[in-house]
């Protein structure tokens, strides 16, 4: 367990087989997560991030490629890996017929915890997620958001070195999301816990130290949120026009650059965008209906890398 990286993924590929044939969910994915980082896998539905998460959590076997977690080869010794990771899946895993306390107690038994040590850890975990006063309630009586908090408490009970979270904000209201993130921040600061999460929330991705952006099974960009946005190299100008392809061609001929048509809107990435917009309007007054200007966002990074919008892909 002496590796510098908490997670090392090398050339990981994964395919599903069904009646329609074979679908490749992951294609030669490689990245590393440093110890103590909060690392986010950002991508729309169908991007491969959930398949990747399930492989990292030992739920899926490795088909092709290699994963090392905390220095241990996942394929060779999954049992050793499981001792040191905490996993919170997107799908609920609470036993609804048991109380919150009983759910955590049985979770603790799986990791060899018992007696006063287990009771103290359950109390501490429930206090951390704001459920100490709900310990004796049946899991079925909790709201979706409170069940999500209980899931998080389960994943942290054995003090894992690596915490894996699949869409941690699922079912949480804004206040609960903020509380969870405050707790994760404290956990990283106090325990040095490495956190790897999947998300399709841009706001959540902004909170990560490092991001890997995924699309259709491939890793299309990687870096800090700030670095990824800076790589766009300027402001983002969006233009509404009746003929985006014609306007794009005319802009290329007169000003150069690489204007793109994305879902009927013309997008231009350019430094000092506020100075460029008047030039555009003056040059093509009859073609431009409206313009908007903004600093790059993570969705702009996704569009820059893939040529299509994040949310449209997610909905499809």
Q: Is 104:126 a contact under the CB 8 Å cutoff?
A: yes
Q: Which residue's entry shows tokens 């079925």?
A: 140
Spell out the residues 6+ positions from residue 265 whose beta carbon is closer than 8 angstroms to its own: 238, 239, 240, 244
Position 206 scores a pLDDT of: 95
Domain 233-295, CATH 3.30.70 — does that match? yes
What is the layout of strands, in order, in the sheet containing 38-42?
85-88, 162-166, 194-199, 38-42, 210-215, 218-223
Query: What tens digit of pLDDT does each residue of 53-75 get?
Result: 999 999 999 999 999 999 999 99
Q: Tell me how far apart the alpha carbons of residues 38 and 299 are, in angstroms, rounded to a whole number.
A: 20
Sequence-ordered alpha helix ranges (H) in 61-162: 78-84, 100-110, 115-128, 144-156
Q: Output 294 or 171, whichever has higher pLDDT.
A: 294
The domain ranges of the chain are 5-223, 233-295
Position 115 scores a pLDDT of: 96
Average pLDDT, the chain: 91
Position 179 scores a pLDDT of: 79
To the nearest 10°, report the CA torsion of 220, 226, 231, 233.
140
Percentage above 70 pLDDT, the chain: 97
Q: pTM to 2 decimals? A: 0.87
Q: Is the pLDDT confidence value at 315 over 70?
A: no
Position 13 scores a pLDDT of: 98
Residue 89 gets which letter from DSSP?
-
Q: Is the pLDDT confidence value at 275 over 50?
A: yes
Q: Partners of 197 in the beta sheet? A: 40, 165
| Homologous superfamily of 5-223 | P-loop containing nucleotide triphosphate hydrolases (3.40.50.300)
Choose the weakest-confidence range: 29-38, 71-80, 161-170, 240-249.
161-170
Closest by Cα among 46, 1, 42, 8 to 26: 46
Q: Is the pLDDT confidence value at 311 over 70?
A: no
Average pLDDT over residues 282-289: 94
**3-class SS at 14?**
strand
């Amino acid at each position: 367990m002496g590796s510098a990286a908490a997670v090392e993924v090398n050339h990981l590929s994964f395919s599903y087989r069904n009646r329609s044939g074979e679908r490749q969910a992951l294609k030669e994915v490689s990245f590393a997560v440093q110890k103590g980082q909060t690392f986010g896998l950002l991508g729309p539905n169908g991007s491969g991030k959930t398949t990747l998460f399930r492989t990292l959590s030992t739920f899926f076997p490795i088909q092709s490629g290699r994963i090392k977690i905390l220095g241990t080869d996942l394929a060779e010794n999954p049992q050793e890996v499981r001792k040191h990771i905490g996993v919170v899946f997107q799908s609920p895993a609470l036993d609804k017929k048991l109380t919150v306390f009983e759910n955590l107690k049985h979770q603790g038994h799986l990791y060899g915890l018992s007696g006063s040590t287990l009771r103290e850890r359950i109390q501490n975990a429930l206090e951390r997620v704001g459920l100490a006063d709900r310990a004796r309630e049946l899991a079925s009586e909790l709201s979706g958001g409170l069940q999500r908090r209980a899931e998080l408490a389960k994943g942290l009970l054995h003090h894992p070195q690596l915490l894996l979270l699949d869409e941690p904000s699922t079912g949480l209201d804004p206040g609960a999301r903020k509380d969870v993130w405050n707790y994760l921040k404290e956990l990283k600061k106090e325990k040095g816990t490495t956190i790897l999460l999947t998300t399709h929330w841009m706001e959540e991705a902004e909170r990560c130290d490092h991001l890997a952006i995924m699309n259709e099974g491939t890793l299309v960009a990687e870096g800090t949120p700030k670095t990824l946005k800076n790589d766009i190299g300027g402001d983002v100008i969006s233009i509404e026009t009746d003929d985006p392809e014609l306007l794009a061609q005319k802009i290329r001929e007169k000003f150069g650059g690489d204007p793109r048509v994305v879902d009927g809107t013309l997008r231009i990435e350019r430094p000092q965008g506020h100075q460029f917009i008047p030039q555009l309007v003056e040059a093509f007054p009859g073609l431009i209906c409206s313009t908007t200007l903004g600093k790059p966002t993570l969705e702009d990074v996704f569009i820059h890398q893939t040529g299509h919008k994040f949310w449209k892909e997610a909905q499809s």
